[in-house]
Amino acid sequence: MPKVKKSKGAPGRGGALSLADQILQEDAVRSSGRQKNRSRSEEEQEYVDEKLSRKILQQARIQQEELQSELGLTPESRRPPTTRLGLCTQDDSDDDWPALGEETSGEVEVDPEDERAIEMFMNKNPPLRRTLADIILEKITEKQTEVGTVLSEVSGHGAPQLDPRVLEVYRGVGKVLSKYRSGKLPKAFKIIPALSNWEQVLYLTNPETWTAAAMYQATRIFSSNLKERMAQRFYNLVLLPRIRDDIAEFKKLNFHLYSALKKALFKPGAWFKGILLPLCESGTCSLREAIIIGSILTRCSIPVLHSSAAMLKISEMEYNGASSIFLRLLLDKKYALPFRVLDALVAHFLSFRADQRTLPVLWHQSLLTLTQRYKADLSSEQKEALLELLKSQTHASISPEVRRELQGAESRDQEDATPPAALD
Task: Compute the distance between CA of residue 245 and CA of residue 93 in angstroms, rounded to an integer.
Answer: 19
Q: Residue 353, Cα to own-chain centre: how many angstroms?
A: 37
Read off the pLDDT of residues 350-397 as tens digits, 9 standing for 90 and up: 999 988 888 889 999 999 999 999 999 999 999 999 999 999 999 999
pLDDT tens per residue across span 88-123: 333 333 333 333 334 433 356 666 666 666 666 566
Radius of gyration of the chain from its Cα atoms, rounded to whole angstroms: 37
Of 238 and 24, the structure prediction assigns the larger pLDDT to 238
Residue 301 has pLDDT above 50, yes or no: yes
Given a cut of 90, whether residue 158 has pLDDT beyond it is no
Residue in 274, 129, 132, 144 with CA at minimum distance from that of residue 203: 132
| 276 and 326 Cβ atoms separated by less than 8 Å | yes
pLDDT score for 77: 47
Closest CA to 99 of 224, 242, 262, 234: 262
> Within a 10 A sphere around the Cβ of 302, how many other Cβ atoms?
17
Instruction: Please report the beta strands in 278-349, taking only residues with DSSP state E, as ranges in sequence order.
Output: none
Measured CA to CA in angstroms, residue 132 lies from 275, 289, 381, 395 at distances of: 14, 21, 48, 43
Q: What is the DSSP letter of 90?
A: G
Distance CA 171, CA 190 (A): 14
Percent of the chain with pLDDT strictly greater than 70: 63
How many other C-beta atoms lie within 10 A of the C-beta of residue 118? Answer: 22
- Pinpoint the alpha helices (H) of 393-423: 399-407, 412-416
pLDDT digits 0-9 by tens, 187-198: 999 999 999 889
Higher pLDDT, 89 or 250: 250
Which residue type, as a one-letter code, is found at position 329? L
Is 70:214 a contact under the CB 8 Å cutoff? no
The dihedral through the CA atoms of 137, 139, 140, 145 has a sign that is: positive
CA distances from 191 to 170, 222, 267, 422 (A): 11, 10, 19, 64
**Residue 278 confidence (pLDDT) above 90:** yes
Q: What angle is formed at CA 344 by the lines to CA 343 and CA 349, rounded to 5 degrees?
A: 100
Which of 94-108, 157-171, 206-220, 266-280 has the least mean pLDDT? 94-108
- Calculate mean pLDDT across residues 177-186: 94
Residue-averaged pLDDT of the chain: 77
Average pLDDT value for residue range 232-258 = 94
Q: How far apart are CA 45 and CA 123, in angstroms?
A: 81
Nearest Cα to Cα of residue 147 among 155, 136, 157, 159: 159
Mean pLDDT of 226-232: 93
Q: How confident is the model at residue 46 (pLDDT cuts 50, 70, 90)?
A: low
Is 255 or 146 the better-scoring residue by pLDDT?
255
Percent of the chain beyond pLDDT 90? 51
Residue of 50 and 206 predicted with greater confidence: 206
- Band (pLDDT 50/70/90 cuts) for residue 263 is very high
